[in-house]
Amino acid sequence: MKAYTVYRFDYTRQEREAVGKLLERRSRDRGNNIEALLRLARKLYSTSSLDSHIVITPDPVISTDTDN
């Protein structure tokens, strides 16, 4: 599973703020995974403001290995 952070970019303030997270649970690529996640993020985290835009970015992978 991959985790993605959902941001809302506000054009008037030129800032992005984290508004949530999404998990990609598909085990293999179907060609439109990112597009489908973006549509879901827009559906879940949309606002009525025309000056904002929803953006998703993958979370960095955190290694759980302790032998360095």
Chain segment 28-41, per-residue pLDDT in tens: 777 788 888 888 88
Report how far residue 4's alpha carbon sits from residue 59's, in angstroms, rounded to the nearest whole number.
5
Tell me the pTM. 0.70
Whether the predicted pLDDT of 12 surpasses 50: yes
**pLDDT tier, 6 (very low <50, low <70, confident <90, very high otherwise):** very high
**For position 68, what pLDDT does the model report?**
45
Q: Grade residue 51 by pLDDT with cuts at 50, 70 and 90.
A: low
- Of 52, 54, 51, the C-alpha closest to 37 is 54
Residue with tokens 């030129």: 14
Identity of the residue numbered 55: V
64 falls in which pLDDT band (50, 70, 90)? very low
